[in-house]
């Protein structure tokens, strides 16, 4: 498995409306923390996020979290 690109060493803290989102797992997207299709041709696939209510989330930007798509503090170790 390839290593992801570190998009940022801090999470994206966002308040998201209900809906479907795709979290970028590869780190190449120009629309972090969301997928823009840049993973095509790699081992990576985006992770679908479905929210039924408005929710504040801390989405991983370093891409090394063990609790995808949420930040688990891994950015402090890389």
Based on the shown chain and the rule CB under 6 A, indicate whether residue 62 belongs to the binding site for ligand FES. Answer: no
Closest CA to 46 of 36, 56, 59: 36
Member of 6, 9, 10, 36 binding ligand FES (CB under 6 A): 36
Closest CA to 28 of 3, 5, 55, 56: 5
Which range, of 11-19, 22-30, 51-59, 64-72, touches ligand FES by CB under 6 A? 22-30
Based on the shown chain and the rule CB under 6 A, indicate whether residue 57 belongs to the binding site for ligand FES. Answer: no
Min. distance of Cβ 29 from ligand FES in angstroms?
4
Which range, of 10-18, 24-32, 54-62, 66-74, touches ligand FES by CB under 6 A? 24-32
Q: CA-CA distance, 51 to 21, in Å (whole number)?
A: 8
Strand partners, 16: 55
Is the bond into 33 cis (omega within 30 degrees of 0)? yes
Binding site for ligand FES (CB under 6 A): 24-26, 28-29, 35-39, 44, 46
């Amino acid at each position: 498995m390839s290593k992801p690109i570190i998009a940022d060493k801090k999470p994206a803290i966002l308040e998201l409306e209900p809906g479907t989102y795709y979290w970028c797992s590869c780190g190449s997207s120009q629309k972090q923390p969301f997928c823009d299709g840049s993973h095509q041709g790699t081992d990576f696939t985006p992770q679908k996020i479905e929210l039924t209510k408005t929710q504040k989330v801390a989405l991983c930007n370093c891409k090394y979290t063990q609790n995808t798509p949420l930040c688990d503090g891994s950015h402090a170790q890389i």
